[in-house]
Amino acid sequence: MKATGASLAETGRYLRRSLTQSLRLMVGMPDYDTYLSHMARTHPGQEAMSYEAFFRERLEARYGGGKGRCC
């Protein structure tokens, strides 16, 4: 009984997380936590960008380069 409850809650968390991530990625904003863990894992010496800096960087990358989107 308990196991099902835990897995249900887990599924719920996964769904909510995926949904948020999808919505943010739709407007070009990758997951910040993923970025942080990537920086911690592969560039432990370097300082990671703050969320605000990350946000600005991604915004420029999405719209600044003049990439087209579909009709």
Partner 1 sequence: MHSIRRHLVWLVVAMVGAFALGTVALSRGESINALWIVVAAICTYLIAYRYYSLFIATRVLGLDGKRKTPAHRHNDGLDYVPTDKNVLFGHHFAAIAGAGPLVGPVLAAQMGYLPGLLWILGGVVFAGAVQDFIVLFISTRRDGRSLGDLIKQEMGTVPGMIALFGTFMIMIIILAVLALIVVKALAESPWGTFTVAATIPVALFMGVYLRYIRPGRIGEISVIGFVLLMAAIFGGQAVSQSPVWGPMFTFDGKALTWMLIGYGFIAASLPVWLLLAPRDYLSTFLKIGTIIALAIGIVFVAPTLQMPAVTQFAQGNGPVWSGNLFPFLFITIACGAVSGFHALISSGTTPKMLDNELNARFIGYGGMLAESFVAVMALVAAACIDPGVYFAMNSPAALVGSTPEAVAQTISGWGFAVTPDMLLQTAKDVGETTILGRAGGAPTLAVGMAHILHQVIGGQAMMAFWYHFAILFEALFILTAVDAGTRAGRFMLQDLMGSFVPALKRTDSLPANLTATFLCVAAWGYFLYQGVVDPLGGINTLWPLFGISNQMLAAVALMLGVVVLFRMKRERYAWVAAAPAAWLLVCTLTAGWQKIFSADPKVGFLSHAAKYADGLAQGVLIAPAKTPEAMARIVFNDRLDAGLCALFIFVVLSVLVYSVRTCLAARRAHQPTARETPFEPMAAA
- The single residue listed with the structure tokens 């989107």 is 69
Contacts of 32 (CB under 8 A, 6+ apart): 51, 54
Q: Which is nearer to partner 1, 1 or 66 (CB)?
A: 66
Minimal distance, residue 30 CB to partner 1, in Å: 5
Minimal distance, residue 33 CB to partner 1, in Å: 10
Q: Which is nearer to partner 1, 7 or 55 (CB)?
A: 55
Minimal distance, residue 47 CB to partner 1, in Å: 13
